[in-house]
Each structure stands twice: as C-alpha cells, then as structure tokens.
Amino acid sequence: MRHAVLLGLALSFYPTFSANAQESTSYTYGDWKVTCVERENALPCEMTQSLIDSTSGQTVTHFSLAYSPVDEAYAIQISVPLGVKLEGGMVIKAGETVVEGIRFSRCLPGGCLIEAKLEDPLLGAMSAGGEAAIAVVDASGQAVSLPYSLNGFADAKAQLVKETTTRMPQN
C-alpha cells in the first residue's frame, strides 16, 4: 500500500508540474535541477534532467526523480518520444549496474513514460556519479541508447530529500 501511495504521488507531477503557475524554487547541481512547487496532494519537489536534440532544440528524453519521506523511497518517471516498441520496456544503466525490462506505463501525445520505484543498487550507482544511459528499441527494431550525465546527481538527490521532507505536511 505504501508503495502505491508513493507511485501515485510521484505520478501526479506529470505533466503539470513544470506548467504550474505557482511560485517555485529551484536549485542546480551539475547537470541536475531540483524544482519545488507547493501543491496539494502531491510531492512538492522533483529532480530532473532533459536530453535536448542540439539540431532541433526538441526534448528527446526527460528523467524525473521524486522522493517520498513517508515511504523513504524514490520514484522515477522517464519520458521518451513516441515510436518506441513498448513490449521490450526500457533498460537503465548506471556504471556497471543494469536494470532491464522496465515496462512503459502509458503514452501521451508527447511521448511514452516509464514510472517506477527506483531502488538500490541502481540508485547507489547513480549517486556514485559518472555516466548513465537509458535504452529503448525504436519502431524499426534498432536499439537506441540515450545518455545521461550523473554530474551533480548525489548533491541534487540530497537537496531533493531535504526540500521534500521540509515541505511535506506533517500528519
């Protein structure tokens, strides 16, 4: 039940989180950004990184991490463009740690999403820094690897936990 609450709260920040007109606070650590917005019934902060196509300026993929102090757990949401094969899911690699077959949860007009709990050892590998990548299979059957920088990940994660814990209502 607790994990369902975490995932439900984490899922509530897409896609309206960034579009919310309420006052926000943001922090940047390396290639990661922590943004907090006061909202009812949702986790107040997220940690993000987007991969932007240098030619078109379009977002290719967006990685978002939320933290639930109630569960002391993390949830991820990663978006990729439409046109990926859904049945194989997504692969996430950080350092030597690989998690395969993460299922897509839904597709929206702007892309397809995975939404899942992020657990060790992947969380630990990401916190250690270096490089990470997600991999999907495109409509033609070709594997596509999309890199993520982990520069600043550990510091951004610490700020995410601090801000979320401070801003969550105490029950």
Q: Is 91 exposed, middle or buried (0-12, 13-18, 19+ CB in 10 A)?
A: middle
pLDDT confidence of residue 43 = 79
- Domain range for 62 is 2-167
The pLDDT tens digits of the residues spanning 130-152 come to 889 999 999 999 999 999 999 99
Buried b (16+ CB within 10 A) or exposed e, 13-33: bbeebeeeeeeeeebebeebb
Count the domains in the chain.
Answer: 1
Q: Residue 31 maps to which CATH number?
A: 2.60.40.1880
The token pair that represents 149 in the structure block: 């920088």
Rg (CA), the chain: 15
Contact call for residues 67 and 45 (beta carbons, < 8 A): yes
- Per-residue pLDDT 10s for the chain (171 aa) are 444 433 443 444 444 344 445 688 999 999 999 999 987 777 789 999 999 989 998 889 999 999 999 889 999 999 999 999 999 899 999 999 999 999 999 999 989 999 999 988 999 999 999 889 999 999 999 999 999 999 999 999 999 999 999 887 665
